[in-house]
Chain A
Amino acid sequence: MDVRLAERFRQAVPPVDFCSLRYVRERSEYLAVRQDVVQPFATSEDSGAMLTVYAGGGMGYAATSDLSLSGLRRAAEQAHDWARLSARQSVLDFAQLIVAPPHGEYGSVERQPWPSVPLSEKIDLLRGECARLKTDDRIVDWETSLWHTAVDTLYLTADGGHVEQRFRYLVPMLSATANAGAETQTRTFSGRGFCRQGGMEILEHVGFRTAAPRIAQEALQLLVAPNCPSGTMDVLLAPDQVILQVHESVGHPLELDRILGDERNYAGTSFVTPDMFGTYRYGSDLLNITFDPTNPEQFVSYGFDDDGQPARREYLIRNGILQRALGGRTSQIRANVPGVANARASSWNRPPIDRMANINLEAGNASLDEMIAAVEHGIYMRTNCSWSIDDSRNKFQFGCEWGQLIEGGRLTAVVKNPNYRGISATFWRSLAMVGNRDTVEIMGTPNCGKGEPNQVMRTGHAAPACLFANVEVFGGE
């Protein structure tokens, strides 16, 4: 990392209680082939720094892409001005947040780095997979893409803190859209769910090179399938729907800044209250949820959060009982509730807030066949395509791309537009069986929105298939 930037930061630091610099350099490349036509090759290179100042109990920040000494000095002065303005008018006295300076580093593991594969080879790969999606005249749109992002960060504090982290992300995508008259159905490679840290080896791990024919075939099957039936029945969710269920009705409700009310004007609040931690039954005994930033394959693994706090694995829910909140150091002090290192910012130009990292549903001991065999009348749903939940993260309604009836313990007819609805506070208590490690998929979502000013964030999730009892299910019109 640029040692001259560290030197300029030291020269720019004003006489304040605390000052930090968080530098982010992000280079992304997006390669896509749609209907066998290579789409414009889009790259972006973004870099800048946020300076944060605590003074007189207030806090202020200033973000700039001018990393010269004069640029950093100007930003430090602006941050200092905001700290003075917010002193004695803030939600807390920021002086109490000052801790020993952090030191450390983290790096993604890449077995086949993205740059090691020539551009022409990547385009040829996408062209080949795109062509394999067009299997029928009824496939009216088809597309493949690879989205790679390299992020390098440097966190410095005026009192000597120094954390360097290096992330490499890859998001593969395939989709096929089938149409007949006014009916259109789209099937994807789990949306953008197969996002991970690492290099081109990820494509082998997630089966990118073999998925296209299945995706096209399933889009065509959906096109002629009947609507999902309505009624109360058992629902078996594939991992690419379980991760969405975890994200929306466990991850977000446990974010401490929501519980503290910071998000009430935008992303919402939470049905969870501080007094619930340690005693509240969130789900059945089978429900175990962890915050795990330590798995190098997962999308949002890291060594330190964006406030410089070291990250480690923690249980959020154990045997169904709520244990710990998703809140960084600032929120933990405000709420006096145990949390995790998850103060994260989308880039250099947004301040850290409480975000999910890798929020995982731990594997159980049932095989997929055992779960299917346990259902007399139910439905198997795969791949989220619709998500909606109230601002307290309680009343939800989710939809999937693919549904398949389970009758008498066997998978039978394909159905389209499968949806289900429920209430978070009771839904997880109907968790009846949890899939074993063979059913686990390592996934995530690259575009989670939250915060004022708004921030789009990567979140990671690993989950097995899960069976829920007595769920309200319905289809389309």
Chain B
Amino acid sequence: MQDYFYALADAITTSLHADEFYTCTFHAEDSDFVRFNRSAIRQAGTVVQRFLALDLIHDRRHAGAEIALSGDFDSDRGRIGELLTELREQLPYLPEDPHLLYATTVHSTVQQGENRLPDRADAVAAVLDAGSGRDLVGIYAAGGIYAGFANALGQRNWFESFTFNCDWSVYYQRDKAVKTSYAGFVWDPTVFMRKVTEAAEQLEVLKRPPHSIPPGRYRVYLAPAALYDILEMLAWSGFGLKDHRTKQTTLLKMVEEGVHLHPAVTLRENTRDGVSPNFQAAGFIRPDQVTLIEAGVFHDCLVSPRSAKEYEVPTNGASIAEAPESVEMAAGDIARDEVLQRLDTGVYINNLWYLNYSDRSACRITGMTRFATFWVEGGVIQAPLSVMRFDESIYRLLGEHLLGLTAERDFILDPSTYHERSTGSSRLPGPLVEQVNFTL
């Protein structure tokens, strides 16, 4: 695949007219998707897709397009040639772009992967076996993910990764379920079965009569997967330079009024330890780390090349969305096996669901508990909790009401498959919080 992309890039280079420049990105995957419901196969199939995005630049004008490729070099080279012609014809009708910025220093990189994925039939059999006698629902996704960058200066970047992500739930009844995932590069049946067994043990607790609580403020432990959902919300316009300069960041009070989070909160975009490509669409290489929040204080924005040009600051290799892709939060000092004891009486939340801002200026987020959420008394799980809605500001949740973070962190591979399998990841502790506002 790497040779195929590089050969296409070379063909583009040789097709350029004088004074023309180009940048192009490539992203492809060959993926198996097997969907399960009630411990049987619902839909099973394979998707092979390849896309190339080309930006043709002449002076300060540029025109871009993305096309699907067939994988046949000769026909794809011909299609790209047609595309170049189309873009060339558009250029005179487009104005100069004052915010155009692309890498002009060549920095080629290669991140190659090794395909050690399990045989698809073996993986499917393992999941069906795990579901035997249970009500299992979810998806097994696996295969290669490929990304590349090329430009007219000869910069070439390549990324490939062969991963699986099995994301499933086992249900007791109605909305009582335990959600689990197993993701990585090498399928270890022992690890998978351990996760299946742990989920089955939690499911036993869900069989107890559910506990209901009235709206009010409660002490809460959020497992790393639940914190992940909260940070996904913050990623939506929290850290981008454009959102900061246009006052649309939901962390505006941190930068305008000096509001702090808890000193234990340090948040970084950690490309070095993530599983995403370290290059972006304009050819810039991402630094190993960008500190977003340091000891509760806002530190740096994510800066795309476009924002860098617009606001006259250096880029730090962010994508156009200026959202974290490999986020990590510093660990705290609460041992994982002391969480129930420290929680004492309150709500143990494994997963959250469907978060959204209810007051952007106050960075107040609403959402639901989901899957295995428990009522805890005296440090002992008592019963599953009926789903509850929370509505709470980040300034309290990770600020004045934060009691601490776990010392252990979970590495979470994003199971998202919108348009393509995600390479996003996060490394997060679990926060213990007091006075969380439950409303419905």
Contact = CB atoms under 8 A, between A and B. Distances in A.
A140 interface: yes
A349 B42 CA distance: 17
B43 A351 contact: yes
Contacts of B387: 390-392, 395
Interface residues of B, number: 88
Given A68-B72, A386-B356, A82 B46 contact: yes
Contact of B70 (A63, A67, A177, A423): A67
A261 B37 contact: yes
A453 to B, nearest CB: 4
Contact of A86 (B44, B68, B362): B44
B368 A349 contact: no
Nearest to B135: A261
A268 B42 CA distance: 16
Given A265-B179, A397-B440, A63 B44 contact: no
A350 B31 CA distance: 11
Contact of A388 (B94, B252, B257, B367): B367
Interface string A412-456: 000001010101000000000000000000000000010011111
Contacts of A423: 440
B94 A390 contact: no
A348 B252 CA distance: 41
Contacts, number: 252
B166 to A, nearest CB: 11
B335 interface: no
B356 A456 contact: no
Given A397-B366, A453-B141, A476-B359, A65 B69 contact: yes
B331 interface: no
Contact of A119 (B37, B42, B93, B357): B93
A63 to B, nearest CB: 4
A59 B72 CA distance: 28
Most buried by B among A71, A265, A351, A456: A265
Contacts of B38: 91, 261
Contacts of A43: 64-66
Contact of A91 (B42, B47, B177): B42
Given A86-B41, A261-B38, A477-B364, A63 B46 contact: yes
Contacts of B41: 58, 85-86, 89-91
Most buried by A among B72, B253, B360: B360
A385 to B, nearest CB: 8
A217 interface: no
Interface in A324-373: 349-351
B44 A82 contact: yes
Interface in B341-387: 353-362, 364, 366-368, 370, 387
B65 A389 contact: no
B124 A85 contact: yes
A454 B416 contact: yes
A40 B43 contact: no
B105 interface: no
A376 interface: no
A477 B359 contact: yes
Nearest to A29: B65
A391 B70 contact: no
B63 interface: yes
Contacts of B247: 140-141, 177, 179, 184
Nearest to B393: A477
A269 interface: yes
B366 A41 contact: no
Contact of A60 (B44, B167, B439): B44
B224 to A, nearest CB: 18
Interface in A444-472: 449, 452-456
A184 B93 contact: no
Nearest to B50: A65
Contact of A182 (B55, B65, B175, B361): B361
A419 B169 CA distance: 32
B63 A177 contact: no
29 contacts: A38-B94, A46-B51, A47-B68, A60-B44, A63-B47, A79-B45, A91-B40, A119-B93, A179-B247, A184-B247, A264-B37, A269-B174, A351-B45, A386-B366, A388-B367, A390-B389, A391-B175, A397-B358, A397-B389, A397-B440, A399-B357, A452-B138, A452-B139, A453-B33, A453-B47, A453-B421, A454-B417, A456-B418, A477-B364
Given A419-B359, A421-B389, 20 more contacts: A43-B64, A85-B124, A90-B40, A91-B37, A91-B40, A120-B93, A123-B95, A264-B171, A265-B167, A265-B169, A350-B47, A390-B368, A390-B387, A395-B387, A395-B389, A417-B358, A421-B440, A453-B33, A454-B416, A476-B358
Interface of B: 31, 33, 35, 37-38, 40-51, 55, 62-72, 75, 90, 93-95, 97-100, 120-121, 124, 128, 135, 137-139, 141, 167-169, 171, 174-175, 177, 179, 246-248, 252-253, 256-257, 353-362, 364, 366-368, 370, 387, 389, 391, 393, 416-419, 421, 439-440
Interface of A: 37-38, 40-48, 50, 58-68, 71, 75, 78-79, 82, 85-86, 89-91, 118-120, 123, 140-141, 177, 179, 181-184, 186, 260-262, 264-266, 268-269, 349-351, 386-392, 395, 397, 399, 417, 419, 421, 423, 449, 452-456, 475-477
